[in-house]
Structure 1
Amino acid sequence: MRWLSLVLLFVVAIGAAGCSSKFKTYSGPKVTHVVIYKEQRKMHLLHNETVLKSYDVDLGFAPAGHKQFEGDGRTPEGQYWIDRRNPNSQFYLSIGISYPNAADRAYAEAQGKSPGGDIFIHGQPEVFKNKKADWTAGCISVTNREMRDIYAMVRNGTQVWIYP
């Protein structure tokens, strides 16, 4: 009977280990800032001047230029912050970027338009996995596997620099 209990416990443990979670833990150096180069379609997570991880990214469907208005399909450029997290995102996992900042809002208001918002670094739902590059509405997209790492590594309050 004891032998059967041990085998059953082993089978349950193996089954539980096979159920991977989308939430990972990270215990390495703190990510002090995120740098995104739109033209190269690259994102780097840095600890001070040391690159910890680099990723290929997809951007907004109109990637050239700074996001100015809601619906323009552009990814913002400039200095922002990670300001929120969405563990239940329709784009797998997502971390929010603080767009629009005060200058973005003022410019759009002066033009009589909305600056838009809801800019995130996020994964890819099944419907977008086979899409062409630069499919988002202005966000930065990586694979779901990569997003698990990013979600674990990057904390709220982390500085984000987005370059043309």
Structure 2
Amino acid sequence: MTIDRRKILLAAPALLAACSGSKMLSYNGPQVTSIMAFKERRKLYLMHGNTALKSYPFQLGFAPVGHKRFEGDGKTPEGTYIIDRRNPQSAYHLSVGISYPNARDRAFAAAHGRSPGGEIFIHGTPEEVVGKKDWTAGCIAVMNHEVEEIYTMVGDYTPVFVKA
């Protein structure tokens, strides 16, 4: 019995994909038109117009009350942002970036001679902090299986509204 090398070469990508344990799901539902996050309630909603498609509990920065002003303050930003990047290799399973700081955030920090910080994401949760409350440095953290859904459902440039 001979093995056709062409068949092996053509089948290799499919075999690798099947064995990779990919974090990616597929989504074929209504478009997520915005993300609403309510810090006090610790609830994040994926919205299609005025309809919530999904909701998730979350953890915040270690100093959860108030708007993020400066790097290292442990606060989660409040305001209107967009999803501006994705990180499939995130240290926190998967992550989608929030466009903090905006021009107003940068101007406020500059007026105080400080950095506004950055690198704010919606991301997963490592095992060692599961069950802890408000452990991030300012991000919004959901469970890993939830960030997989969010990563798949939410497109780049989706508006993100973070409210107190």
What is the TM-score of this pair, normalised by structure 2?
Answer: 0.87
The answer to whether structure 1 residue 157 and structure 2 residue 161 are counterparts is no
Partners of 2:130 and 2:162 in 1: how far apart? 24
Aligned to 1:103: 104
Q: How much does 1:19 deviate?
A: 6.6
Q: Give 2:54's aligned residue.
A: 53
Distance 2:100 2:158 in 1: 14
| Pairing 1:82-161 to 2, within 5 Å after superposition | 82-130=83-131, 132-161=132-161
Give 2:40's aligned residue: 39
**Residue-by-residue CA offset, 1:103-152 (whole Å, 9 max, x unaligned):** 0000000000000000000001233225x200000000000010110000
Measured after TM superposition, the shift of residue 20 of structure 1 is 4.3
2:76 matched to which residue of 1? 75
The share of aligned pairs that are identical, in percent, is: 59
- The unaligned stretches of length 5 or more in structure 1 are 1-15
2:14: which partner in 1?
none
Specify the code of the residue in structure 2 equivalent to 1:100: P
Q: CA offsets, 1:89-108, max 9 Å, x none?
A: 00000000000000000000
What residue number does 1:7 align with? none
| Cα distance between partner residues in 2 of 1:116 and 1:17 | 39
Runs of 4+ in 1 over 3 A off after TM superposition: 16-20
- CA-atom RMSD, angstroms? 1.4
The letter for the 2-side match of 1:96 is: G
Give the partner amino acid of 2:134.
Answer: D
Q: Which amino acid counterpart does residue 105 of structure 2 have in structure 1? A: D
Number of the residue aligned with 1:3: none
Match of 1:10 in 2: none
CA distance in 2, matches of 1:140, 1:28: 24
The SS at the match of 2:45 is strand
SS in 2 for 1:39: coil
Letter in structure 2 aligned against 1:46: M
* Separation (CA, whole Å) in 1 of partners of 2:120 and 2:22: 25
Residue of structure 2 equivalent to 1:8: none
Equivalents in 2 of 1:19, 1:90: separation in Å? 18
SS in 1 for 2:100: coil
Give, in whole Å, the separation in 2 of the partners of 1:149 and 1:74: 25
Instruction: State how many pairs are aligned.
Output: 148
Amino acid at match of 1:138: G
1:79 maps to a residue whose letter is T
SS of residue in 2 equivalent to 1:73: coil
